[in-house]
Chain A
Amino acid sequence: MHELSIAMSIIELVQEESDKRGGAQVSAVHLKLGALSGVVKEALLGSFEMACEDTPLKGARLVIEDVPVLIFCRSCQAKCPISSVQLFCCAECGTPSAEVVQGKELEVVALEIEEWDHSPV
């Protein structure tokens, strides 16, 4: 269970990005999460909410995009999905492959920030 440390790293990273933009209020964090990242989605969502308390990110949503594993298949000469994470074989032709080309992502891809409309009412 290291999702709490991951959540804290996310918050740190987001605050850095927010500071660069003059302390913009972040309402949502978009994250890519690979099936081989070693991070459990549900645990991360809970940890994130908890870790945001007492920070300027309080109430921000964590929007997670699941990224499936793709391997490079030498028979198909293409990036292919695997049968399952228990079987690293090309789902198309069954050739085994350990060349993971996608699925280890743990990446903040975008932030939703609140922009105040300062025009006179």
Chain B
Amino acid sequence: MGSQPRLIEVRKNVLKQNDLVARALREQFRAAGVFVVSLVSSPGSGKTMFLEKTLTLLRQHYRVAALVGDLATENDAVRLARSQAPVKQITTGTLCHLEAAMVQNALQEWDLNQLDFLFIENVGNLVCPSSYDLGENLRLVLISVTEGEDKPLKYPTIFNSADVAVVTKMDLASAVEFDWQTAYGNIQAVRPGMQVFKLSAKNGQGMDEYLSFLKKRLDESRVTATI
């Protein structure tokens, strides 16, 4: 008695389970009229400071909340709570990225109908989060001026999975001799046409333009949702 290999066709996306949950989340967000923004960056790019400012400023006119992914600590959630917006921590343990099911679990106790904006801060990592759809409307990739201009060339995949880029810590640009044109050119090389905001969450430079953009996208998403 012998064995013979036979080839059978399968054609299944490895992350289909995550994609199914992400699709369900996207539908849930649409029905509730909440605009969902996720943030990806390296550790230390100023994601939490940037989000704290975003929440504080938007909270004056909008209902906002945030989910924060972190490997082990709750430090980020504590910092973000200073904005007085509802914040929930997702501790991922050793996992280097958020998955759609974690977002779904974290949202169970929240009434999405009571929100205009929901922010999801991913784990600080420019590699792994790129593969996982979280059902968000918009994915922001952040780089800070202290990281150097070539980050986009080193991590083209994450720039390709994101919709918009934000260059943070612009208040430090001259101190670290950050070359804006080079950085902008590198972003356009890996993602032609990508919209880029340059700002400083610390001194507020560029925040107005970025917040106006978010408000416009919220309005657009609601118009589309009712058609």
Binding site for B on A (CB under 8 A): 1-2, 5-6, 9-10, 12-13, 17, 21, 27-28, 30-31, 36-39, 85-89, 96-98, 100, 106-118, 121
Contacts and interface: CB of A to CB of B under 8 A. Distances in A.
B13 interface: yes
A112 B9 CA distance: 9
A13 B16 CA distance: 9
Interface of B: 1-17, 95-97, 127-128, 130-131, 153, 156-158, 160-161, 188-194
Given A98-B194, A115-B3, A10 B14 contact: yes
A18 to B, nearest CB: 10
A68 B160 CA distance: 14
A37 B192 contact: no
Contact of B153 (A9, A36, A86): A86
Contact of B189 (A17, A87, A113): A87
A106 to B, nearest CB: 5
A110 B193 CA distance: 37
A102 to B, nearest CB: 12
Query: 4 closest pairs, A vs B, by CB?
Result: A96-B192, A2-B128, A38-B130, A38-B131
A110 B12 contact: no
B38 to A, nearest CB: 15
Contacts of A86: 153, 156, 189-190
Nearest to B161: A38
11 contacts: A6-B14, A10-B14, A27-B5, A30-B7, A36-B161, A37-B157, A85-B156, A87-B190, A98-B191, A98-B194, A113-B8
B95 A5 contact: yes
A98 to B, nearest CB: 5
Contacts of B127: 1-2, 38
Contact of B1 (A17, A39, A87, A117): A117
A113 B6 CA distance: 5
A116 to B, nearest CB: 5
Contacts of B157: 36-38, 85
B5 A28 contact: yes
Nearest to B6: A115
Contacts of B190: 85-88
Contact of B7 (A9, A17, A110, A117): A110
Nearest to B5: A112
Contacts of A13: 10, 12, 14, 16
